[in-house]
Amino acid sequence: MKVRFAAQRPKGSYALALPVRGEDMLSDRLAGLDEAGRRLAARAAEAQRFEREAASVVETFVAEGETARRLLLVGLGGKKDEEAIFERAGGALVARLLTSGETRLVVDLGGLGLDSSAAARLGFGAAARSWRHDAYRTKLGRKQKPTLEEVVIVGGGEGAEAEWRRHSALLEGLAFTRTLVAEPANVIYPESFVERCRAAMDGLGVEFTVLDEKRMAELGMGALLGVGQGSARPPRLLAMRWNGAGDAGSKPLVLIGKGVTFDTGGISIKPALGMEAMKWDMGGAGAVAGTILALATRKAKANVVGICTLAENMPDGNAQRPGDVVTSMSGQTIEVINTDAEGRLVLCDAMTWAQREYKPQLMIDLATLTGAMIISLGHEYAGLFSNDDGLAADLTEAGNSSGDRLWRLPMGDAYDKLMDSPIADMKNSGPREGGSITAACFLGRFVEEGVKWAHLDIAGMVWADKASHLYDKGATGFGVALLERYVAANHEL
Ligand code: BES
Ligand code: MN
Ligand code: ZN
């Protein structure tokens, strides 16, 4: 689906959408319609109890010469409504119209006195909501097929086009992440994940480094290798370096994503019911890859390295056992109590490698790390853990403005000591209580002196069982907008 910006409404047929804020006079917003149209629209709004709630939509038809035009009113909420309202409004309109039979939507912002970023953000929400993964659906019915081809945003002001460049780069990244997440594990495994990234970023100037098992063994990555050893698909560690600020920039910001391309649990095997969901246990790595793609596409003036720690967690004659002790690259030993707590094992070696290789000022990891995260925050916020209040605040802010929201949870010695092991330096799994926090504490043991670090547990966020404003059921692309916004606000020259 295409998005474009225009000063005037186009000619020809289209559905028309008029955004309405809580404080607007409805008659002002309907001023472009004729007398009969205004009356009809006002009556439709009243009859459908339209109170301009954020991203609420009502629909009617108004006469337009010989034919009738579909008219939608979309609520922008009140003054205090969240920052991401324009994305949500654009998404809500597309959700209505995507398979409606309409081929073109015109959204008229004229008269609202908005700045150009509102138009770009509305376009972003519209395009994000139109994404689908129909690659394997060979029998889609006529009414299930998308019809909407174009969204034209009118009256967004002069700068909309320029603002759009950033958003369209973000959309590229978001779509890439969603595709990686949606693809099944027989298609996306460590090696094919790397190849997909190479293909997506070809020619953009992103520098790739890929470590195979042999190199990992030389480096002493016993924790990561232990997770991969039960699988026929060998693990990989992928680093994508975007040096957009060049030498003028500071040391790179490092992003690390958990990329378990399938998590059976290993010998501590998961129950069969719902196990297919574990194809998206690489959502952290997917978000990191999409972020690098977005940043490189718009040539962001920042130095960022995206690291994906890729492995498949399978039970097998060669798989690691509960009770095994592995030595991580940091030298610290780990007793593997539960082979299903594999995310922290693949992350810890990637963290050590990243710190030695890039000497980062700051390191952020994203991981579908614990089921406990979903128990505590549901599907509204990802968990945020950090050793630095400033970093936590900046990430929270980027979360609020992007719509990928974060909620900070505590860490500390009392939790940390729950990860001590009687036989090794630590164990990989603690008590059930506070499971997301002890997982974060485990990772914290691999953060080197002076490095600012944040861990985002995105277990509840990468996949949605029901549609929302910016996505249909399925892969959400969580984290891409967040990280892109965070980099833009805090790390660009
Ligand atoms: N990938 C899972 C976490 C997960 C579960 C994400 C459900 C999304 C939905 C992770 O590898 C895992 O299995 N964690 C265990 C840790 C436990 C064994 C300490 C969990 O949460 O049960
Ligand atoms: Mn697991
Ligand atoms: Zn996992």
Could you tell me the residue ranges of all domains in the chain?
2-158, 167-490
Q: Which of 65, 162, 148, 78 is nearest to 106 (CA)?
A: 148
**Cα 325 from Cα 335, distance rounded (Å):** 4
Counting ligands in written order, the one closest to the CA of 259 is 3
CATH 3.40.630.10 assigned to domain 167-490? The reply is yes
Q: Which tokens hold the place of 401?
A: 């403005």
Given ligand 1 and candidates 314, 340, 346, 373, which is best to mutate, with the most ligand atoms within 8 Å of its CB? 340
Catalytic residues: 270, 344
Atom of ligand 1 nearest to the CA of 463: 8
Cβ contacts of 122 within 8 Å, gap of 6 or more: 19, 86, 87, 89, 90, 107, 109, 153, 156
Q: Which CATH class is domain 2-158?
A: alpha beta
Given ligand 1 and candidates 370, 419, 441, 443, which is best to mutate, with the most ligand atoms within 8 Å of its CB? 370
Phi, psi of 293 (to 5 degrees): -60, -45
DSSP-assigned letters across all residues of 79-142: TTS-TTHHHHHHHHHHHHHTTSS--EEEEE-TTS---HHHHHHHHHHHHHHH----TT-TT--G
Tell me how far the alpha carbon of residue 343 lies from the centroid of ligand 2, in angstroms: 6
The amino acid sitting at 438 is T
Counting ligands in written order, the one closest to the CA of 376 is 1
pLDDT in tens, 32-76: 999 999 999 999 999 999 999 999 999 999 998 888 999 999 999
Tell me how far the alpha carbon of residue 264 lies from the centroid of ligand 3, in angstroms: 8
**Cα 329 from Cα 219, distance rounded (Å):** 7
**Which residues have any ligand 1 atom within 6 Å of their CB?**
263, 281, 338, 340-343, 368-372, 429, 435, 459
Tell me how far the alpha carbon of residue 279 lies from the centroid of ligand 3, in angstroms: 9
Confirm whether 2-158 and 167-490 share one CATH topology: no
The tens-digit pLDDT sequence of the chain (493 residues) is 999 999 999 999 999 999 999 999 999 999 999 999 999 999 999 999 999 999 999 999 999 888 899 999 999 998 776 778 999 999 999 999 999 999 999 999 999 999 889 999 999 999 999 999 999 999 999 999 999 999 999 999 888 989 999 999 999 999 999 999 999 999 999 999 999 999 999 999 999 999 999 999 999 999 999 999 999 999 999 999 999 999 887 899 999 999 999 999 999 999 999 999 999 999 999 999 999 999 999 999 999 999 999 999 999 999 999 999 999 999 999 999 999 999 999 999 999 999 999 999 899 999 999 999 999 999 999 999 999 999 999 999 999 999 999 999 999 999 999 999 999 999 999 999 999 999 999 999 999 999 999 999 999 999 999 999 999 999 999 999 999 999 999 999 9
